[in-house]
Amino acid sequence: MTTNISTEQALTKEVWKLATTLAGQGVGYTDYVTQLTYLLFLKMDAENEELFEEESSIPEGYRWINLKEMDGLDLLSHYEKTLKILSEQDNLIGTIFTKAQNKIDKPVYLKKVISMIDEQQWLVMDGDVKGAIYEGILEKNGQDKKSGAGQYFTPRPLIQAMVDCLQPQIGETVCDPACGTGGFLLAAYDYMKEQSQDKGKRDFLNNNALHGVDNTPLVVTLASMNLYLHGIGTNRSPIACEDSLEKEPDTMVDVILANPPFGTRPAGSVDINRPDFYVETKNNQLNFLQHMMLMLKNGGRAAVVLPDNVLFEGGAGEIIRKKLLIDFNLHTILRLPTGIFYA
């Protein structure tokens, strides 16, 4: 285990050192993490083909081997074309490369990232190790206030406390309707995977138990890769690029874990027109709360991060609180200290 921890720490340090170098060249941390995601996926696909003799799902000519053999402007041009081609694919590839664009415009630095990734064998690395490396990078990115990525990242201790409270069971379905980089889904997965070694139950857990939604393409990419590195959704990502509030839930779920965005809806968003809602309001968190109340199966459980005003707001807030107290079992209200979120 010590080896795993030291490998994880050393690689995270190396990856982030290059991020700092690129930041000096005008490449923001979020842009760097995104490019790292694209390239890491290509490298792991190549390893899967080489080590396990599985056929690549990436079109010929746009694979890892094509990129790593190039330099200069040829590399830059081919990388940009690769991103375009892969963004048009279906299944997991299309999700990870959603609206993909190159943000490293100097070939020498793009080559540095490719070389760093190429030095490691990622597939043979324990899933917990490579997943922890990626989560560590996402957390560092979330801590950088300039990047603004903190709004998509919930601190791990808070996530763990909420999962421990709900105690999701293997065989149940878990949803995060505002999933960010996938922290809640991963914590629920880790909690459930220890409960059974039964192949059928583990297959359900890996492929059907988890569902995430986010309306930001970049965040969907990061969440999909985060889960993929842990062995979740290897054929089709469980993360959808949608606005959860625009339509009624397609399915009911057993468990909901969420930290929805605070405030009003962003400019340009579609107005909420939900006949199934208990009350009409422009308050984002009240709408997410209504959405989650409607998604739960009978006997289902939800844990959600909400601002204080949800407890006291009149009008729509009062109507929703009454509904919550009459038709649901409100189990716990946990007051959080100030300053625990990165954003």
CA angle 37, 39, 45 (to 5 degrees): 100
Q: Domain for residue 99, yes or no?
A: yes
pLDDT digits (tens, 9 = 90+) for 70-114: 999 999 999 999 999 999 998 899 999 999 999 999 999 999 999
* pTM metric for this prediction: 0.87
Same domain, 71 and 134: yes
Same domain, 160 and 139: no
CA–CA distance, 130 with 31 (Å, rounded to integer)? 20
Q: Domain for residue 69, yes or no?
A: yes
Token pair 């409270």 is found at: 165
Terminal CA-to-CA distance of the chain, rounded, Å? 33
Length of the chain as a residue count:
343
Of the candidates 96, 100, 102, 41, the residue with the CA atom closest to the CA atom of residue 73: 102
The answer to which of 7-21, 34-48, 246-260, 310-324 has the lowest mean pLDDT is 7-21
Same domain, 64 and 7: yes
Q: Domain for residue 233, yes or no?
A: yes
Q: Domain for residue 281, yes or no?
A: yes
Dihedral (Cα; 246, 285, 221, 182), 10-degree rounding: -130
CA–CA distance, 26 with 32 (Å, rounded to integer)? 10
Instruction: Judge contact between 60 and 85, C-beta under 8 A.
Output: no
pLDDT digits (tens, 9 = 90+) for 5-33: 567 778 878 888 888 888 888 888 889 98
* Residue 195 CA from chain centroid, whole number: 23
**Residue predicted with more confidence, 254 or 149:** 254
Q: Domain for residue 340, yes or no?
A: no
Same domain, 9 and 63: yes
Same domain, 123 and 19: yes
CA–CA distance, 90 with 123 (Å, rounded to integer)? 22
Same domain, 158 and 139: no
* pLDDT for the residue numbered 300: 97
Q: How buried is residue 267: exposed, middle or buried, by Cβ count under 10 Å (0-12/13-18/19+)?
A: exposed
pLDDT digits (tens, 9 = 90+) for 189-214: 999 999 999 999 999 999 999 999 99
Of the candidates 316, 330, 213, 322, the residue with the CA atom closest to the CA atom of residue 260: 213
Q: Domain for residue 196, yes or no?
A: yes
* pLDDT for the residue numbered 150: 45
* pLDDT for the residue numbered 266: 63
The answer to which of 51-60, 208-217, 299-308 has the lowest mean pLDDT is 51-60
* pLDDT for the residue numbered 2: 42
Instruction: Judge contact between 223 and 212, C-beta under 8 A.
Output: yes
Those residues whose C-beta lies under 8 Å from the C-beta of residue 225, and which sit 6 or more positions away, are: 37, 40, 41, 96, 134
CA–CA distance, 88 with 190 (Å, rounded to integer)? 32
Same domain, 228 and 203: yes
- For residue 323, pLDDT over 80 is answered with yes
Same domain, 260 and 162: yes
Q: Domain for residue 170, yes or no?
A: yes
* Residue 132 CA from chain centroid, whole number: 13
* Residue 153 binned pLDDT confidence (cut-offs 50, 70, 90): low
CA–CA distance, 318 with 310 (Å, rounded to integer)? 9
Instruction: Judge contact between 144 and 311, C-beta under 8 A.
Output: no
CATH of the domain at 186: 3.40.50.150
Same domain, 315 and 181: yes
pLDDT digits (tens, 9 = 90+) for 231-289: 898 888 999 999 999 999 999 999 999 999 887 666 666 678 899 999 999 899 999 99
CATH of the domain at 120: 1.20.1260.30
- For the chain, how many structural domains are there in total? 2
- For residue 1, pLDDT over 50 is answered with no
Amino acid identity of 130?
A: K
The encoded tokens of residue 286 equal 């009240």
Those residues whose C-beta lies under 8 Å from the C-beta of residue 93, and which sit 6 or more positions away, are: 41, 57, 58, 86
User: What single DSSP character describes residue 56?
Assistant: P
Percent of the chain exceeding pLDDT 90 equals 62
The encoded tokens of residue 265 equal 């809806």
Those residues whose C-beta lies under 8 Å from the C-beta of residue 297, and which sit 6 or more positions away, are: 252, 253, 254
Q: Average pLDDT of the chain?
A: 89
Same domain, 160 and 301: yes
Same domain, 179 and 110: no
Which of 49-63, 268-282, 319-333 is predicted most confidently?
Answer: 319-333
Same domain, 81 and 193: no
Instruction: Judge contact between 154 and 185, C-beta under 8 A.
Output: no
Residue 298 phi/psi, 5-degree rounding, is -60, 130
Percent of the chain exceeding pLDDT 70 equals 91
* pLDDT for the residue numbered 276: 96
At which of 143, 169, 201 does a domain end? 143
Which residues span the domain enclosing 10?
Answer: 2-143
Q: Domain for residue 341, yes or no?
A: no
At which of 115, 143, 171 does a domain end? 143
